[in-house]
Chains A and B, each alone.
Chain A
């Protein structure tokens, strides 16, 4: 079992604040890094699939970076809104077909 760690485990921010979280993964046998947003009582929603070292992806106010050599990815949210409240999961993929998930960062945006 591969170790994928996410930090912090949870955080509360005020509406309008920008925030970021970290996903750490093994730097060997890298194939892809996935980010998901999971709102309570809904399905996990894919945000990004990142495959290249130095990749930067953006979707609205959310962006992510990837460093495969040192084994980490950052997810940034600019100007947090209450609707951003969710658990953010990262998942590491080796050449095999399974995703190894972290335990997630639970974000609460306070209006």
Chain B
């Protein structure tokens, strides 16, 4: 059974640029959630995808967008990067939307200069 993987591991961008982060779900999982963890804080929910549809969104602006593909892998896209977007981005997959355990990837560290 393959765990959740994320790419790239680290990324440096400049303010105003766009970035795409990728996540491969654990085998058989149809739900992916994305989180942002800024320094000194707990992870904050960005959004969730269930069977290729957005299924809940946290308090993030529209320049944070996502996709889920038929194989349940997922992308997080951030446009017009700001310095405050510097953070660790985590994705987590689960078998369903309810109280199921979420399995996390190791994260992508994004630095915006």
Contacts and interface: CB of A to CB of B under 8 A. Distances in A.
Interface residues of A, number: 26
A41 B107 CA distance: 9
Contact of B104 (A1, A43, A104): A43
Contacts of A43: 3-4, 103-107
B42 A49 contact: no
Q: How large is the interface on B (under 10, 10 to 19, 20 to 34, 35 or more residues)?
A: 20 to 34
Interface string B62-94: 000000000000000000000000000010100
Nearest to B31: A97
B50 to A, nearest CB: 8
B41 A103 contact: yes
Contact of A97 (B48, B101, B107): B48
A4 interface: yes
Interface of B: 3-4, 33, 35, 40-45, 48, 50, 55-56, 58-59, 90, 92, 97-107
Given A43-B3, A46-B103, 14 more contacts: A1-B59, A34-B101, A34-B102, A36-B104, A42-B106, A43-B4, A43-B104, A44-B92, A45-B104, A49-B99, A49-B101, A97-B97, A98-B45, A101-B43
